[in-house]
Amino acid sequence: MNEEDLEIIFETQTDLPQNPRLDQFLAYELPEHSRAYLQKLIDQELACVNGKTAKASQKLKSGDIITLNIPQPVPLSVEAENIGLDIVFEDKNMLVINKPAGMITHPGAGVASGTLVNAVMYHCGSELSGISGTLRPGIVHRLDKDTSGLIMVAKNDTAHQSLAAQIAAKTARRTYLAILEGHLKIKEGVVDKPIGRNPKDRKSMAITQTGKRAVTRYKVLQDFAKYSLVECDLETGRTHQIRVHMAHFQTPVVGDLVYNNKTTGNLAKRAKLGLKGHALHAYKLAFTHPVTQELIELQAEPPEDFANLLSSLKSQNKSGKAEGPNL
């Protein structure tokens, strides 16, 4: 522990109910920090119970002494960049951006520039929440690189905590449009299947019994000869959730380079369809404003490449012609 780090000590009460887990106890006692951040501290062995490092799942009992070391924030090493942003909503507490396909949300894995965070830092200066850490200032949730659409950014910790809590409580609504390859047999339903790291490929995700619960509500809006337009609502926010769930039914997102093993899952064939990313767009967002408590409902129409493909499919559907280029 460095001299500047913060050490917090708790003693559980004699009437401690139901022997909570360590991570549950810390989340209750420290609501100013996200559960993900506290979990990270526990994983880094910065939490002790009765002087011994403990796992998140450790059950606590009356009289336990819990010590948590919270490191001082590391100076941000990401540089601000003057990159144009499509801002759909902004005030002194937060902003909502319509992210283009191809833009990475935050730096990582050797990518230090050209991200949404670089652009937001230039636009907001020092007005960003620090809860998500030094590489993800202000980022409340994320969108995959090749997914376009609406993403929330918090300018202060109060806004960040409120927005993150709404996502966790499923009161913030995030709705996507996707063009799928193939057709879903059941036209409206709920996919409730756990998602975790793919045991055969750690760079991708998969439906696995050891994963975390993932729930996607979907509705088929229109079927075409080979493709379909689907609306998806997220109840949870697992990595690649919609992409994994739709691929599970053998109806992967068109142009998905990871989960589409059918026709359009490579760069060349995606380019023939005129797509810059895969055909997945976060087009609706509804949440309660973290300060005014006003219901905010926003919508961003699909980008030009997505809209052009959809228009082509609709036109060909009416004429009875084959869809898309010769793939």
Sign of CA dihedral 261, 267, 273, 274: positive
255: tokens are 């142009």
Three-state SS annotation for 246-260: HHHCCCCECCCCCCC
Q: In this structure, what token pair is assigned to residue 322?
A: 């084959």
- Spatial distance between the Cα atoms of 162 and 171, rounded to a whole number of angstroms: 11
Helix (H) or strand (E) holding 299: strand 295-299
Paired tokens of 241: 């959730």
CB 78 within 8 A of CB 118: yes
Provide the token pair at 113: 């520039």
CB distance 145 to 277 below 8 Å? yes
DSSP, collapsed to helix, strand or coil, labels residue 62 as coil
**Residue 30 in 3-state DSSP?**
coil
Which phi-psi region, left, alpha or beta, contains residue 163 (left: φ > 0; alpha: ψ -120 to 50)? alpha
CA dist 81 → 110, 122, 132, 204 (Å):
17, 5, 20, 29
Place of tokens 């606590």: 60
Catalytic residues, which ones? Answer: 144
Interacting residues of 239 by C-beta distance below 8 A, sequence separation 6+: 195, 205
Q: Which of 97, 116, 30 is nearest to 70 (CA)?
A: 30
Residue partners of 11: CB distance under 8 A and separation at least 6: 63, 64, 65, 66
